Structure 1
Amino acid sequence: MKNKPLHVIVRFELKAGELDTLTALIRDFFEKEVSHFPGFISAKIHQNEAGTVLINYATWESTEHFHQFVMELASLSPIAQQIQAFRPTQDMVFEVSL
Structure 2
Amino acid sequence: MNNPMNVIVRFELKEGEIEVLVPLIQEFFEKEVSAVPGFISAKIHKNEEGSVLINYATWESEEKFLKFVKEVAQVSEISKKIQAFASKTDRVFEITL
Alpha-carbon distance, 1:97 to partner: 2.7
| Identity, % of aligned positions | 63
Indicate the SS of the match to 1:23: helix
Distance 2:19 2:56 in 1: 17
- When the two structures are superposed, what TM-score results if normalisation uses the length of structure 1? 0.97
Distance 2:19 2:2 in 1: 35
Indicate the SS of the match to 1:20: helix
Describe the superposition over 1:5-62 as per-residue Cα deviations: whole angstroms up to 9, x where unpaired. Answer: 0000000000000001100000000000000000000000000000000000000000
Runs of 4+ in 1 over 4 A off after TM superposition: none
1:53-64 equivalences under 5 Å are 53-64=52-63
Alpha-carbon distance, 1:96 to partner: 1.9
CA RMSD of aligned residues (A): 0.6
Distance 1:3 1:42 in 2: 17
1:1-98 equivalences under 5 Å are 2-98=1-97
Alpha-carbon distance, 1:66 to partner: 0.1
Describe the superposition over 1:74-97 as per-residue Cα deviations: whole angstroms up to 9, x where unpaired. Answer: 000000000000011100001123
Indicate the SS of the match to 1:51: coil
Distance 2:87 2:29 in 1: 16
In structure 1, stretches of 5+ residues that fail to align are none
- When the two structures are superposed, what TM-score results if normalisation uses the length of structure 2? 0.98
Q: How many residues align?
A: 97
